[in-house]
Structure 1
Amino acid sequence: MRLAPNLHRIGNDIVAAHLVVTPEGITLVDAGLPGHWKDLVTELADLGRPLADIRGVVLTHGDSDHIGFAERLRRELDIPVYVHTDDADRARGGDKPKTPMGPMRLAPLVGFFAYALRKNGIRTRYLTEVLPVADGAVLDLPGSPRVIGMPGHSPGSIAVHVPAVAAVFVGDALTTRHVLTGRAGAQPAPFTDEPERAMASLDRLADLDAEWVLPGHGVPWRGSPAEVVAEVRRAAAV
């Protein structure tokens, strides 16, 4: 799905990953669920680009619904996968703390897990090798993505700022569609390790120059990061 010139999304409002497409190559931000492989292949075919044009995968964090087909790309095409140092173990299948599920409604909950099942979400293929990155790093990948530490949802959650496409990819630092309640609009994401820390990390987004804020779950946000941060804080206060 084309969002803007050089900016594409695969998946849907339940689970999504994003592509930064340049003449020099493609940067993939997150890898969704394993079954999104077919969506990726289809999207690239529509663009007339081979899988080998992907120069790297940048994970916003190490949860199973974001690492999806990343190991397949790494194994089959030797494409490097980047993740924050503090989430490297999680991306490799290490222990994850159990977090309260919080509010939920039956229909959205069933819809989320049914979609994950259709996309082979129960067959997580963890990474065996990752390239650890740190806050502030500018990666040598198409679009020159910059890593912004956003601890809270997980210790190594990051946002990925790509000025070349006027976008910031936020993973689960926030959501615009709550997968457990179906509630629409910018709001805190569920399954967050440290909710207070995640809210504090939003300050790191507010001053960024971007026209798109792209979460891993929910509709793309067309507007400034400052606007979406303010909306999340309003939703959290309700």
Structure 2
Amino acid sequence: MELRPGLHRIGNDMVAAYLVVDGSGITVIDAGLPGHWRDLEQELAALGRSVEDIRAVLLTHGDPDHLGFAERLRRDHGVPVYVHGADSARARGQGSTNPGWGPMRLGPVAKFLAYAVGKGALRPVHVAEVREFEDGEVLDLPGAPRIIALPGHSPGSVAVHVPAAEAVLVGDALTTRHVLTGQEGPQPAPFTDDPAQALRSLERLRPTGARWVLPGHGTPWRGGVDAAVDAVERAAADAGRSPRRRGLR
């Protein structure tokens, strides 16, 4: 799905990945779930492009629902896969954490799990070899993506700022549709290692001035980065005051 010229999404509000497209090729940002391979092929065909036009995969962090088809691109097509060093082991399947799930509702949880399983979530494919990027690095790739470290969801969580597309792609630094409650709008993402740190890290997004804020889960936000961060902070404060913020209901 084209969001704007040069910026495309595959997947949906449950799980999404993104393509940055210019004359030099394509940068893939996150790789969804293994079953999103077909979505990738369909989007490339609609663009008149092929897998051979993909120059790299950038991972916002190393969780399985963002690794998806990354190893397939690396193994079968020689596409390098980049991740922050603090999540390198996680992306290779050599380290993880066990964060709390937080608030849940039965219907949204069942819907998310059904979708994820249908897209191959029970068969995650880790990346055998990764290249590491650093905070502040501007990569020589389509879209000239700049890395912004956002530790909290995981130690190596990052956002990818693409100035040419007026977009910042944030992985699970925030969500606009909570997969466990169904609540919509910018808010803290579930499965976060350190929620307080994740919230503080969002301030690093403001200087981008990005119009588009693109999460790994949820509707693309086009109301500007300041409004998105403000909304997440309000949602976090409201959740902190709620007497029913925990447990399945």
In structure 1, the partner of 2:117 is 117
Does residue 166 (structure 1) correspond to residue 157 (structure 2)? The answer is no
SS at match of 1:193: coil
Tell me which amino acid in the other structure corresponds to 2:165. Answer: V
In structure 2, the partner of 1:226 is 226
Tell me which amino acid in the other structure corresponds to 2:214. Answer: L
Cα deviation for residue 171 of structure 1 reads: 0.2
In structure 1, the partner of 2:134 is 134
Does residue 79 (structure 1) correspond to residue 79 (structure 2)? The answer is yes
SS at match of 2:208: coil
Tell me which amino acid in the other structure corresponds to 1:197. Answer: Q
Tell me which amino acid in the other structure corresponds to 2:233. Answer: R
Tell me which amino acid in the other structure corresponds to 2:157. Answer: S
Quick check: 1:210–1:223 contact (8 Å CA) kept in 2?
Answer: no
Quick check: 2:209–2:226 contact (8 Å CA) kept in 1?
Answer: no
Instruction: State how far apart, in whole Å, the 2-side matches of 1:123 and 1:209 are.
Output: 38
In structure 1, the partner of 2:144 is 144
In structure 2, the partner of 1:91 is 91
Q: Deviations over 1:89-135 (max 9, x none)?
A: 00000221111111100010011110011101111110010001110
Instruction: State how far apart, in whole Å, the 1-side matches of 2:236 and 2:207 are.
Output: 20
Instruction: State how far apart, in whole Å, the 2-side matches of 1:2 and 1:185 are.
Output: 21
Tell me which amino acid in the other structure corresponds to 2:86. Answer: D
SS at match of 1:56: strand
SS at match of 2:207: coil
SS at match of 1:57: strand
Instruction: State how far apart, in whole Å, the 2-side matches of 1:71 and 1:209 are.
Output: 33
Instruction: State how far apart, in whole Å, the 1-side matches of 2:182 and 2:65 are.
Output: 17
Instruction: State how far apart, in whole Å, the 2-side matches of 1:222 and 1:159 are.
Output: 16
Instruction: State how far apart, in whole Å, the 1-side matches of 2:134 and 2:17 are.
Output: 21
Cα deviation for residue 180 of structure 1 reads: 0.2
Matching of residues 1-238 of structure 1 within 5 Å: 1-238=1-238
Cα deviation for residue 200 of structure 1 reads: 0.6
Q: Deviations over 1:75-100 (max 9, x none)?
A: 01000000000000000002211111
TM value normalised by structure 2: 0.95
Q: Deviations over 1:50-86 (max 9, x none)?
A: 1110000000000000010000000010000000000
Quick check: 2:173–2:188 contact (8 Å CA) kept in 1?
Answer: yes
Q: Please, which moves more after superposition, 89-98 or 33-42?
A: 89-98
Structure 2 residue runs of 5 or longer lacking an equivalent are: 239-249
Cα deviation for residue 14 of structure 1 reads: 0.3
Instruction: State how far apart, in whole Å, the 1-side matches of 2:232 and 2:97 are.
Output: 24
Instruction: State how far apart, in whole Å, the 2-side matches of 1:234 and 1:196 are.
Output: 13
Residue-pair matches, total: 238
Fraction of identical pairs, as percent: 63
Instruction: State how far apart, in whole Å, the 2-side matches of 1:69 and 1:108 are.
Output: 25
Cα deviation for residue 209 of structure 1 reads: 2.2
Tell me which amino acid in the other structure corresponds to 1:196. Answer: A
Instruction: State how far apart, in whole Å, the 2-side matches of 1:154 and 1:43 are.
Output: 29
CA RMSD of aligned residues (A): 0.6
Q: Deviations over 1:187-218 (max 9, x none)?
A: 00000000010001011011212110000000
